[in-house]
Amino acid sequence: MAKQRKFQVLVFVGLVLLVPFLWIFPGGRADVSVTGPYQDGDTSRRVAVLDGGAVTMGALPGGQSYPRAMRLRSGELLGTFVQYTGNGDTSIAIVQSSRASQGREWTDFGGRTKSVVESPAGANLQVNNAVVVELGAATATPTLLCAYRAHTQTPAALNGDEKPGGLNEGYLHFRIAFSASDDGGRTWAPRSPHPLLPGTAGTGSHTVWEAGPVHGLWEPFLRESTVTPGEVQLFYSRENGPKDQDGLMRVSVDAGTSWSAPPFLVSGGGLASRDGMMGVVELARASGHLVAVFESVVDNGDGVHFDDRFSLYTVESLDDGRSWANRRQIYEPSLLSSADNTLYLRNAGAPQIIKVGSTLVVSFMTDEDRFEGVWHANAVVKIITSDDYGKTWSKSLLIAEKSAAWAGLLALDTHSFLVLFTQNDRVKSQRVFLSDL
């Protein structure tokens, strides 16, 4: 009997050790359906804690927003953000953090903050939503590709809300344009002679373009495929109407010089929903198993105003982005009113997603802690984590108090990552550490 019990214990221990191994590696990759009800449990095996305080990324005066960062294969970090000049012009600024610093400090290049691209004076054009990816193998002077939105507006719309009235009035052209650097980000050049002029949306175009004011193009996200060598994937949001927006993907096999058409549909097809602000992560390298996170609100209203609030969703792809399924809600914020003891839905949006070791991390902005004003002007930044590949998610952790928004993420190693955000018109980064329970 003692031998039989010992054998049973050994079998159980072996299964416990084997299941995570099969979960991660080829032949046992995480091809698990994550459909099912939203869960706000606390089943995490690791707990996120702040590592020091937030640091400022950009020293230039003037408003800043939409920070993003990437890690070069050499170990250095590059950060980008939009810099406002106050006269309607914008630029995409780029800063760096050393291999030793890893986001604890950000510096400029050679005494000044460099720009990836600047909106031409008098062109009534704004650049924003920048993201950078490194192409190819690690070199002393890596090749980088930057995607950003480049929209032409009427002069009256330049200093107003980004989407005045929520209907894109004043937008004449929507573009996602591209610039490249062959010296690690010190100098940049457009991917075509005239990247900020209207192009076409077909194969061979240097920009992804739509005429305004209806079909807005927003929030590009870049990643290199680990399945198809030399393939760069562009994810972005495209408006079909004021209350209908889809997530799309195009691919490039010539380092961003041209982009495939028609695009692959990621989310929103057949739904009257506003899906946007996508971030994408691969669950295991070279598996092609992708998870995309995005904000969405469904049109259950009167045809003009939304009846619901923004919340967070994910979809999955098992074929490196060619098809997507398993749409599920992962976070729906609410707030209990002390006045009438009623639970009211609040907003959560602008998410991003990364994998830190075996843990998925999602950042977002939310107004779930208070009733006041326009939600994105009174938001805070939080994160949630998942240790079961997105089936369940932890309770949220506050990263930055109001007014904080437009968060980005960057994994540093198997336990540490950066949360980047805009707070009171300044861009900042916060290190976070995942402690094993």
Dihedral sign (CA 197, 200, 204, 205): positive
Going by C-alpha positions, the residue among 418, 372, 377 that lies closest to residue 399 is 418
Inform me whether the pLDDT recorded for 62 exceeds 90: no
Neighbour count for residue 287 (Cβ, 10 Å):
18
Q: Which of 97, 19, 26 is nearest to 55 (CA)?
A: 97
Cα-Cα-Cα-Cα torsion 395, 400, 404, 409, nearest 10 degrees, comes to -70
pLDDT in tens, 157-205: 666 666 655 567 688 888 899 999 999 998 998 886 444 444 433 333 4
- Over residues 276-315, the pLDDT tens digits come to 999 999 999 999 999 999 999 987 655 555 567 899 999 9
pLDDT in the model for residue 307: 61
Say if pTM beats, i.e. exceeds, 0.75: yes
- SS3 track for 249-312: EEEECCCCCCCCCCCEEEECCCCCEECEEEEEEECCCCCCCEEEEEEECECCCCCCCCCCCCEE
Task: Please name which of 422, 322, 310 lies closest in space to residue 377, comparing C-alpha atoms.
Answer: 422
Q: Which two tokens stand for residue 394?
A: 């932890």
| Nearby residues of 258 by Cβ (< 8 Å), 6 or more positions away | 203, 204, 205, 206, 252
Pairwise CA distance, residues 79 & 64, whole Å: 13
Name residue 397's beta-bridge partners: 383
Nearest to 323 by CA among 269, 276, 283: 269
Q: Structure tokens of 339?
A: 């006045």
Specify the DSSP class assigned to residue 112: B
Which SS3 state, helix, strand or coil, does residue 170 take?
A: coil
CA separation (Å) from 267 to 221, 244, 327? Answer: 15, 11, 8
| Rounded Cα distance, 332 and 309, in Å | 9
* Segment 86-122, tens digit of pLDDT: 777 889 999 999 999 999 999 998 666 678 888 776 6
Give the tens place of pLDDT for each residue, 302-361: 555 556 789 999 999 999 999 999 999 999 999 998 889 999 899 999 999 999 999 999
Tell me which residue has tokens 């950078």.
132
Max distance between CA atoms of the chain, in angstroms, equals 86
- Show the tokens assigned to 213: 């004011």
The top-scoring range by mean pLDDT among 25-39, 233-247, 408-422 is: 408-422
pLDDT, tens digit, for every residue of 139-149?
778 899 999 99
Distance CA 395, CA 120 (A): 45
Exposed/middle/buried for residue 26 (C-beta within 10 Å: 0-12, 13-18, 19+): exposed
Amino acid at 194: H
